[in-house]
């Protein structure tokens, strides 16, 4: 019980801090990788409107549950052959990084008559170890997604390099410029989210224009990942 109270308090404090730094304009997604189902269920019961973001399909399937006000998103790299397992469970896929993946999400969403919210993942730092489309290819992918009736493009997601804020300034400027260009191209108001920032750097991300952050350890505590 003490552990649950700690997590709920962490959630409340993080939510308040995100609201303070963003002027109330940012969405908090809880990165729930490795967190047991019973912990997530207790938090969802204690706080309505929680959003959980999962990185792995198998883990999502193993601990998925429904609760009043709860939504799930997928925030990790997604293989096309795994799309069919999650389209009926998540409200958004943040990690669309290829036309092939977008087409598979469209096909699987059409089968269940659902319009899936998606973000294009952009590799703004050009890191070979990270997913995401190059900045130069983002708008052309956006144009193709816009043609798909069962996808709703809602913005961009990026995982920026670990660096001092001064070094990140030009990367955030590039990301925000791309976000503005996307909003200018699609003037229907659908482009709403710039998802950037995690537990270690979300204040920096919010200062630079992010309005959706993916926070895990600041709420759930340090986690030990499998090698």
One digit per residue, the tens of pLDDT, for the chain of length 227 reads: 588 899 999 999 999 999 999 999 999 999 999 999 999 999 999 999 999 999 999 999 999 999 999 999 999 999 999 999 999 999 999 999 999 999 999 999 999 999 999 999 999 988 888 889 999 999 999 999 999 999 999 999 999 888 888 888 999 999 999 999 999 999 899 999 999 999 989 999 999 999 999 999 999 998 665 54
| CATH numbers and ranges of domains, the chain | 2-220 (3.20.20.10)
The pTM of the full predicted model, rounded to 2 decimals, is 0.95
Q: Which residue has the tokens 């397992």?
A: 85
Q: Give the C-alpha separation, 36 to 103, whole Å.
A: 32
H or E segment to which residue 29 belongs: strand 27-31
84, burial (CB in 10 Å: exposed 0-12, middle 13-18, buried 19+) = middle
């Amino acid at each position: 019980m003490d552990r649950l109270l700690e997590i709920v308090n962490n959630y409340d404090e993080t939510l308040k801090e995100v609201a303070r730094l963003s002027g109330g304009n940012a969405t908090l997604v809880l990165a729930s990788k490795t967190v047991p189902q019973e912990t997530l269920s207790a938090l969802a019961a204690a706080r309505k409107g929680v959003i959980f973001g999962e990185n792995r399909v198998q883990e999502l399937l193993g601990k998925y549950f429904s609760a009043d006000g709860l939504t799930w998103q997928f925030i990790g790299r997604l293989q096309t052959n795994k799309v069919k397992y999650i389209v009926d469970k998540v409200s958004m896929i943040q990690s669309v990084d290829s036309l092939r993946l977008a087409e598979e999400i469209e096909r699987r969403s059409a089968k269940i008559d659902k319009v899936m919210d998606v973000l294009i993942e952009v590799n703004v730092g050009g890191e070979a170890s990270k997913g995401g489309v190059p900045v130069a290819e983002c708008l052309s992918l956006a144009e193709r997604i816009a043609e798909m009736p069962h996808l709703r493009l809602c913005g961009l997601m990026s995982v920026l390099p670990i660096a001092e804020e001064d070094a990140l300034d030009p990367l955030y400027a590039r990301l925000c410029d791309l976000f503005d260009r996307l909003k200018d191209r699609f003037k229907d108001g659908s482009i709403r989210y710039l998802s950037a920032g995690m537990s270690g750097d979300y204040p920096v991300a919010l200062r630079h224009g992010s309005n959706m952050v993916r926070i895990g350890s600041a709420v759930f505590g340090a986690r030990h990942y499998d090698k």
